Amino acid sequence: MSSIELTSSQKTILTALINLYRDSEDAVKGEDIAAEVNRNPGTIRNQMQSLKALQLVEGVPGPKGGYKPTANAYEALDVDKMDEPAFVPLFHNDEEVEGVNVDEIDLSSVHHPELCRAEIHVQGSVREFHEGDKIRVGPTPLSKLVIDGTLDGKDDTSNILILRIDDMQAPVGEPQH
């Protein structure tokens, strides 16, 4: 599939649809998407028409109807659709966050520990996270890496948390792979 350029609004709506669909595995109502992205349901319906034309969503008619993301939607957002992904827990102010899984961890400025940041790519919504919140990621499945940090910023559209790293640990020894 060729690369599709989506507007910021379309990315936000499509990301919300994928997150809500992942939670329920059922068609997602436009009103639920509207509530998730804090927009008018009419706006969502209009955007869904353009996303349907791009073959990124399919409409499901009937009382239990709504919208489902297509395989193209995952590809357009560069999100892996995994049947059974390895689980990496995320803790927000010492409480485990339900319905969220860590997809990827990117570290920057590792050679400057005081500047080191972690970009945490999440499957699930990051809307309830706020700057200054305490975040713990891990342990990861293979290396058992655990990162403790303070939320420095976030990208709601791409579901990314940016952490100022306070502590990072992985047990010493042979990796389990």
**Residue 97 and residue 71 in one domain:** no
Give the 3-state secondary structure of residue 119: strand
User: Each residue of 134-145: pLDDT tens digit?
Assistant: 999 988 877 888
Indicate whether 105 and 67 sit together in one domain: no
Q: What is the pLDDT of residue 72?
A: 85
The reply to whether 100 and 162 lie within a common domain is yes
Q: Is pLDDT of 43 > 80? A: yes
Distances from the Cα of 140 to the Cαs of 55, 74, 92, 106, in angstroms?
35, 23, 16, 13
**pTM of the predicted protein model:** 0.55
Do residues 24 and 71 both lie within one domain? Answer: yes
- Does residue 2 form part of some domain? no
If you average pLDDT over residues 86-111, what whole number do you get?
82
Residue 12 corresponds to which tokens in the numbers above? 């936000």
150 belongs to a structural domain = yes
Domain boundary among 80, 99, 124: 80
Instruction: Pick the closest to residue 4 from 56, 52, 44 (CA basis).
Output: 56
In a shared domain, residues 94 and 164: yes
Cβ neighbors of 165 (< 8 A, separation 6 or more) are: 107, 113, 116, 117, 118, 147, 148, 149
pLDDT of 82 above 60: no
pLDDT at 111: 66
76: nearest Cα among 167, 134, 1, 144 = 1
Q: Indicate if 15 and 75 belong to the same structural domain.
A: yes
| Residue 64 and residue 28 in one domain | yes
**Token reading at 152:** 């420095």
174 in a structural domain:
no
Mean pLDDT, residues 64-89 taken together: 76
Range of the domain at 101: 90-169
Domain end marker among 51, 80, 109: 80
